[in-house]
Chain A
Amino acid sequence: NIVMTQSPKSMSISVGDRVTMNCKASQNVGNNIAWYQQKPGQSPKLLIYYASNRYTGVPDRFTGGGYGTDFTLTINSVQAEDAAFYYCQRIYNSPNTFGAGTKLELK
């Protein structure tokens, strides 16, 4: 089964910084990746689908990229409200495996 590996596990960033987090698939998934944001006590929220498509209402400081096995989520000019866990997920084909997540903390 496919494994989604996210890195780093956590990062501490200052407001206004640019941050990039990574997701690596154990096999070629094309562009069939989604990214979600989850804050404590809340349901996950869709940010990006098909690797680089921003979902409705998602601020344009969130950018997804990559193809095949290596994917990135970049947040330009991080805001305080971006402190959360971020998960990548393989979509389109089963299993719809999630990565273990990256925790973004604000300094």
Chain B
Amino acid sequence: QIQLVQSGPELKKPGESVKISCKASGYTFTDYAMHWVKQAPGKGLKWMGWINTYTGKPTYADDFKGRFVFSLEASASTANLQISNLKNEDTATYFCARSILYFDYWGQGVMVTVSS
């Protein structure tokens, strides 16, 4: 069956970096784009951008340009999100979601806590 399994929770200090993974199974990885969505505690969903899993080209939403990097380990059917120079406002759950135009499968989410 189709699954997106994300890595575990992270506790980081301001200024540090974090890398979150999203491992896909049950379908051909390169047939679907992978999107990333942020949800701060008690808040709604915020689209961060997406990566073309065939070409590796990332596209970032305006608010996520600079410190955020989407990457692939295509041979492992895995998409990654790296956030550098972490800030308190990066505290959130980060979801990956596959898309052919709409987001039909989602990862379970990764809670990233940034605290000194």
Q: How close is B23's CB to chain A, nearest CB, in angstroms? A: 15
Binding site for A on B (CB under 8 A): 35, 37, 44-47, 49-50, 59, 61-62, 95, 97, 99, 101-104, 106-109
Cα(A71)–Cα(B107), bound, Å: 27
Q: Is the CB of A36 within 8 A of B104?
A: no
Interface size of A by CB at 8 A reads 25
Total contacts A-B at CB 8 Å: 59
Q: When chains A and B are docked, how far (Å) is the Cα of A44 from the Cα of B104? A: 9
Chain B binding surface, main DSSP class: strand
Given pairs A36-B103, A49-B101, 14 additional interface contacts (CB within 8 A): A34-B102, A34-B103, A44-B45, A44-B103, A55-B104, A87-B45, A92-B101, A94-B59, A94-B61, A95-B47, A96-B35, A97-B47, A98-B47, A99-B44
